[in-house]
Structure 1
Amino acid sequence: MRRWSRFITAVLLTIACVTGCGAAVDSGAVKTEGASLNPQPRENLEDGGSLTTAITEVSPQWNTFHADASAYTLSLWRWYNPVLAYFSPDGRYSPNPDYLTGVRTETVGRNTVVTYTINPKAFFNDGTPIDYRAFVETWRTSRGVDDRYIVSSTDGYSQIASVTRGVDDREVIVRFDGVYAWPDGLFNVVLHPKATSPEVYNEGYVRQPHPEWGAGPYTVSSYDADNGTVVFERNPKWWGRPGKLDRRIFRQMESQAALNAFQNGEIDATGVAAKDARARVLTMNGIDIRTAASPQQALLVLNLDAPILSDRVVREAVFAAIDRQTLARIRFTGLNYTEELPGSLSLYPFQPGYEDNLAGVVSYDPGKAAALLEEAGWREGGDGIREKNGKRLSLVLPNVGDDATGANLSRALQAILGKVGVDLVVQQRPSSDFSAVVVNKEFDLFMMGFSSSDPFGMAYFCQVWCSDSQFNPAGAGTPQLDAQIRAMTRIGDPMAQIAAGNKVEREAFAQYSNLPLFNGPAMVAVKEDLANYGAGQFYVGPIEDIGWEK
Structure 2
Amino acid sequence: MAWTTLGGLLIGCTHSAAGDTPEERNSRAAVPAYGRTDVNPRPRDALRQGGTLTLPIAQWPAQFNHHHVDGALDDVWTIAGLLEPRLFARDAQGRPQPVPDYLRSAAVTSTSPQTVTYRLNPKARWSDGQPLGWRDFDAQWRALGRGDARYQIADPSGYEDIAEVRPGPGAHEVEVVFEEPFADWQRLFTPLYPAAAFSTPEQFNDAWRSEVPVTGGPFRVGTLDATARTLTLVPDPDWWGRRPLLDRVVLRALDPATAVQAFLSGEIDAVNAASADVYDRLKDARETDLRTGSAWDAVQIALNGATGPLADAEVRRAVLHAIDREALAEVAGEGLPVGVPLLGNHFFMTNQPGYTDNSGAYATRDLPAAERILGSRGWHRTDDGRTRAKDGRPLRLRLVLSQSTTRLGLDLAQLVQQMLGEAGIAVELQKVPADDYLPQYLNQGNFDLAIFRFVGLTYPSSLYPVYRQTDGEQTYANYGRVSSPDVDTLLAEAAHTLDEGRRTRLYNQADALIWELGHDILLYQRPQVVAVREHLANYGVPGLGDIDFTAVGWEK
* TM-score over 0.5 for the pair: yes
**Is 1:531 paired with 2:532?**
no
Secondary structure in 2 aligned to 1:517? strand
Partner of 1:543: 549
> Which residue identity does 1:511 align to in structure 2?
L
Give the superposition deviation at 1:458. 3.8
Alignment of 1:99-114 (within 5 A): 99-108=102-111, 110-114=112-116
**Is 1:198 paired with 2:198?**
no
Partner of 1:439: 443
Query: Which range moves more in the overlay, 533-542 or 461-470?
Result: 461-470
Match of 1:451 among 438, 452, 455: 455
Q: Assess, with a 3 A threshold, how the Cα gap between structure 1 residues 90 and 12 changes in structure 2: closer, same or farther.
A: farther
- Alpha-carbon distance in structure 2 between the residues aligned to 1:414 and 1:31: 29
- Alpha-carbon distance in structure 2 between the residues aligned to 1:505 and 1:202: 32
Q: Assess, with a 3 A threshold, how the Cα gap between structure 1 residues 111 and 470 changes in structure 2: closer, same or farther.
A: same
Deviations 1:180-239 (A, max 9, x none): 2222222232110012211110111111222xx111211111111233211101111111
Partner of 1:23: none
Give the superposition deviation at 1:146. 2.0
Partner of 2:25: none
Deviations 1:419-444 (A, max 9, x none): 11111111233433322321233321
**Is 1:467 paired with 2:470?**
yes
Q: Is the 8 A contact 1:462 1:485 kept in 2?
A: no
- Alpha-carbon distance in structure 2 between the residues aligned to 1:459 and 1:221: 32
Partner of 1:39: 41
- Alpha-carbon distance in structure 2 between the residues aligned to 1:486 and 1:418: 38
> Which residue identity does 2:430 align to in structure 1?
Q
**Is 1:8 paired with 2:3?**
yes
Partner of 1:20: none
Partner of 1:500: 506
**Is 1:263 paired with 2:264?**
yes
Secondary structure in 1 aligned to 2:374? helix
Deviations 1:118-138 (A, max 9, x none): 111110000011012211222
Give the superposition deviation at 1:115. 1.4
> Which residue identity does 1:227 align to in structure 2?
A
Match of 1:522 among 519, 528, 544: 528
In structure 2, the gaps of 5 or more residues are: 11-27
Partner of 1:320: 321
Alignment of 1:144-543 (within 5 A): 144-195=146-197, 196-210=199-213, 213-381=214-382, 382-400=384-402, 401-435=404-438, 436-453=440-457, 455-458=458-461, 460-468=463-471, 469-543=475-549
Give the superposition deviation at 1:362. 4.4
Secondary structure in 2 aligned to 1:117? strand
Give the superposition deviation at 1:300. 0.9
Partner of 1:82: 85
Q: Is the 8 A contact 1:244 1:546 kept in 2?
A: yes
> Which residue identity does 1:325 align to in structure 2?
E
Q: Assess, with a 3 A threshold, how the Cα gap between structure 1 residues 147 and 429 changes in structure 2: closer, same or farther.
A: closer
Q: Is the 8 A contact 2:293 2:528 kept in 1?
A: yes
**Is 1:137 paired with 2:139?**
yes
CA RMSD of aligned residues (A): 1.9
Give the superposition deviation at 1:337. 3.5
Secondary structure in 2 aligned to 1:79? helix
Query: Which range moves more in the overlay, 92-101 or 460-469?
Result: 460-469
- Alpha-carbon distance in structure 2 between the residues aligned to 1:289 and 1:373: 46
Secondary structure in 2 aligned to 1:299? strand
- Alpha-carbon distance in structure 2 between the residues aligned to 1:202 and 1:223: 19
- Alpha-carbon distance in structure 1 between the residues aligned to 2:181 and 2:400: 43
Give the superposition deviation at 1:383. 5.0
- Alpha-carbon distance in structure 2 between the residues aligned to 1:543 and 1:126: 22
Give the superposition deviation at 1:530. 0.5
Q: Assess, with a 3 A threshold, how the Cα gap between structure 1 residues 49 and 77 changes in structure 2: closer, same or farther.
A: same
Partner of 1:19: none
- Alpha-carbon distance in structure 1 between the residues aligned to 2:125 and 2:9: 35
> Which residue identity does 1:112 align to in structure 2?
Q
- Alpha-carbon distance in structure 2 between the residues aligned to 1:383 and 1:169: 75
Secondary structure in 1 aligned to 2:50? coil
- Alpha-carbon distance in structure 1 between the residues aligned to 2:97 and 2:168: 21
Partner of 2:24: none
Q: Is the 8 A contact 1:256 1:403 kept in 2?
A: yes
What is the aligned residue count? 529
> Which residue identity does 2:551 align to in structure 1?
D
Residue identity (%): 30
- Alpha-carbon distance in structure 1 between the residues aligned to 2:509 and 2:205: 35
> Which residue identity does 2:527 align to in structure 1?
P
Give the superposition deviation at 1:538. 1.7
Partner of 1:122: 124
Give the superposition deviation at 1:31. 6.2
Deviations 1:159-190 (A, max 9, x none): 22222111244111122223322222222321
Q: Is the 8 A contact 2:233 2:249 kept in 1?
A: yes
Q: Is the 8 A contact 1:91 1:539 kept in 2?
A: yes
Give the superposition deviation at 1:485. 3.1
Deviations 1:29-53 (A, max 9, x none): 6662310011111111111110111
- Alpha-carbon distance in structure 1 between the residues aligned to 2:482 and 2:172: 42
In structure 1, the gaps of 5 or more residues are: 1-5, 16-27
Q: Is the 8 A contact 1:233 1:248 kept in 2?
A: yes
> Which residue identity does 1:334 align to in structure 2?
G
Give the superposition deviation at 1:402. 4.3
- Alpha-carbon distance in structure 1 between the residues aligned to 2:522 and 2:217: 37
> Which residue identity does 1:32 align to in structure 2?
P
- Alpha-carbon distance in structure 1 between the residues aligned to 2:89 and 2:394: 52
Partner of 1:18: none
- Alpha-carbon distance in structure 2 between the residues aligned to 1:73 and 1:180: 25
> Which residue identity does 1:10 align to in structure 2?
T
Give the superposition deviation at 1:361. 4.5
Q: Is the 8 A contact 1:14 1:523 kept in 2?
A: no
Give the superposition deviation at 1:491. 2.0
Q: Assess, with a 3 A threshold, how the Cα gap between structure 1 residues 111 and 357 changes in structure 2: closer, same or farther.
A: farther
Secondary structure in 1 aligned to 2:346? coil
- Alpha-carbon distance in structure 2 between the residues aligned to 1:351 and 1:471: 23
- Alpha-carbon distance in structure 2 between the residues aligned to 1:541 and 1:84: 14
> Which residue identity does 1:203 align to in structure 2?
D
Q: Is the 8 A contact 1:276 1:404 kept in 2?
A: no
Q: Assess, with a 3 A threshold, how the Cα gap between structure 1 residues 342 and 204 changes in structure 2: closer, same or farther.
A: same
> Which residue identity does 2:493 align to in structure 1?
A
Give the superposition deviation at 1:318. 0.8
Secondary structure in 1 aligned to 2:45? helix
- Alpha-carbon distance in structure 1 between the residues aligned to 2:551 and 2:118: 25
- Alpha-carbon distance in structure 2 between the residues aligned to 1:359 and 1:265: 47
Alignment of 1:92-103 (within 5 A): 92-103=95-106
- Alpha-carbon distance in structure 2 between the residues aligned to 1:47 and 1:262: 23
> Which residue identity does 1:521 align to in structure 2?
P
